[in-house]
Amino acid sequence: FFKIKSGGGHSESINPQNLLITMNKGEEGEEKEKEELPYPSLAPVVLLALTQTSPPRSWCLRVVCHPYPLLLERVSILAILLNCVTLGMFQPCGHTSYLLQALDDGIFAFFAGEMVVKMVALGVIGQKGYLGDTWNRLDFFIVIVGMLEYSLDGHNVSLSAIRTVRVLRPLRAINRVPSMRILVTLLLDTLPMLGNVLALCFFVFFIFGIVGVQLWAGLLRNRCFMGDDFRIYNITFLNSYYRPDGTDDHPFICSMERENGMLRCSDVPRRRVGRTYCSLGAEEAQSETALTADGPASCVNWYQYYNECRTGEINPHKGAINFDNIGYAWIAIFQVITLEGWVDIMYYVMDAHSFYNFIYFIFLIIVNVFLLHMITLQGTLSMGP
C-alpha cells in the first residue's frame, strides 16, 4: 500500500494492484475508442476540431477512401493524361485557343480541389498528414506555384520562370501508380550509393581535361590571315582570315610551323568564281574586271595570300568548343562521350596539332562510354537485394 497525504493533512492508502487495474482499463478504453473509429489508421482529430465523423471531414474521407479501387486516384491519372495533351498543344509564341485555356484552368482547379480534400481528410502535418508524404509535398508545390501564376497574371510580370514549373505536372503520375512510385523511389535510394562511381567519373574527366589543356590550349583559334605584303591592295570583299563559304560554321584551322598538324595555309583551296577556279596573281587583277560565270578561264586567286597562320579570336562553334581552360575542356569532353559530333572536334585538333591525336579521342571514348558505363551498371546491380 501507498500512503498519499490529502490537502487536509489526512493520509490515504492506495492499493498498487487497484491502480494497475485502473491504468489497464484506461488503456483498453483508448484502444477500444481507436477501434471504433471509421478509419483507425488516420488521425482522430485534424485542423484542431474536425473528427472522423464530423462533416466536412467525413465527406472528404469517403472521397479519399472510396471503396471502389482508388476512385480519386483513377480520376487524377485521367486528369494528368489530359494535362499532358494540353501541355503538348500549348503554343507560347501564338494565341492559345479558348478550349485549351479552359481545359488547363479546369485541370488546375481539379488538382487544387484534390489537395484541399486530402488536407481535410488526412490533416496537413504529421506522419499520416498530407505533407507527411514526399510526393504530396511535390503536388503541394506545383499547386502553390500555379496559384502564384494566376495571381500575377495581368500585372506586367514575366511569368516564364514560373510557367516552367508546368513541366512537373506529369510527375504527379508517380504518386498515383504504385509500381512506378516504387521504381522511382528505388532509383533515388541508389543514387547516394553511386558516389564512388561518380567520383571516378569526375577523376577521369579531370585527367583528360588537363591533358587537353596542356596540349591544345589556344590551338583551335588558329586561322590563315593575309600577310603584310598584301596590304598594298585595297580588296574590300575579302575577310581578314580565310573562311570557307564565307562563314565560321566549318572553320579552316591551320597548323603553325612548330606543330605537325594536317592543314597548312598552303592548303587553302583556290578561289572559285562560278565554275572557274582562279589561278592569276594580284598583279593581273585587271584581267578579272570582265569576268563572268561563263567567261574567261582565268581570274585572280586572292586566297593564295592567306599565307600566315596565327592565333585569332574565335573558337569553333561560336566559341563553345576549345581547350583553352579546364571548364571548356570538360564541355568538349562531354560532347565527345555523348558520341554526337565528336568526329569534328577530333578533326579540328588533328588539323591544328598532330595526326596522332586521334589516340586521345579513341581512348577517351573507350574509357568513358564503355568501361565507366559497365562499372556503373555493375555497381547498381551489386546494390540490389
The half-sphere exposure of 165 on its side-chain side, counting CA atoms within 13 A, is: 16
Instruction: Considering only residues 6 and 223, tell me which one the structure prediction assigns the higher pLDDT.
Output: 223
pLDDT at 55: 82
Q: What 3-state class would DSSP assign to 193?
A: helix
Output the nine-digit C-alpha cell for 298. Answer: 582565268
Stretch 207-217: mean pLDDT, rounded? 94
Stretch 289-297: mean pLDDT, rounded? 43
- Percent of the chain topping pLDDT 70: 75
Domain locations along the chain: 1-35, 61-190, 197-268+306-382
pLDDT of 369 higher than 80 = no
pLDDT of 243 higher than 50 = yes
pLDDT at 286: 54
Most confident of 8-22, 62-76, 143-157, 347-361: 347-361
Fold (topology level) of 61-190:
Four Helix Bundle (Hemerythrin (Met), subunit A) (1.20.120)
| Spatial CA neighbour of 147 closest among 162, 130, 168, 160 | 162
Output the nine-digit C-alpha cell for 269. Answer: 583551296
Alpha carbon 226 to chain centroid distance?
A: 44
**Distance separating alpha carbons of residues 138 and 314, to the nearest angstrom:** 44
pLDDT at 142: 83
Strand partners, 272: 277
The string of pLDDT tens digits covering residues 304-361 is 888 889 998 889 998 899 999 999 999 999 999 888 889 999 999 999 999 999 999 9
| Spatial CA neighbour of 309 closest among 188, 197, 218, 189 | 218
Q: What 3-state class would DSSP assign to 13?
A: strand
**Distance separating alpha carbons of residues 206 and 94, to the nearest angstrom:** 45
**Distance separating alpha carbons of residues 264 and 268, to the nearest angstrom:** 7
Stretch 104-132: mean pLDDT, rounded? 84
pTM assigned to the model? 0.61
Most confident of 124-128, 176-180, 344-348: 344-348
Average pLDDT of the chain?
Answer: 77
Output the nine-digit C-alpha cell for 221. Answer: 583559334
Give me the residue label for grid cell 504527379.
Answer: 172
Contact 224, 311 (CB under 8 A): no
Query: How sure is the predictor about 30, in pLDDT bands with cuts at 50, 70 and 90?
Result: very low
pLDDT at 295: 43
Query: How sure is the predictor about 229, in pLDDT bands with cuts at 50, 70 and 90?
Result: low
pLDDT of 169 higher than 80 = no
pLDDT at 19: 45
Least trusted range by pLDDT, from 45-49, 210-214, 258-262, 350-354: 45-49
Alpha carbon separation from 352 to 96, 159, 213, 373 (Å, rounded): 51, 46, 14, 31
| Spatial CA neighbour of 360 closest among 352, 369, 350, 372 | 350
Instruction: Considering only residues 362 and 298, tell me which one the structure prediction assigns the higher pLDDT.
Output: 362
pLDDT of 26 higher than 70 = no
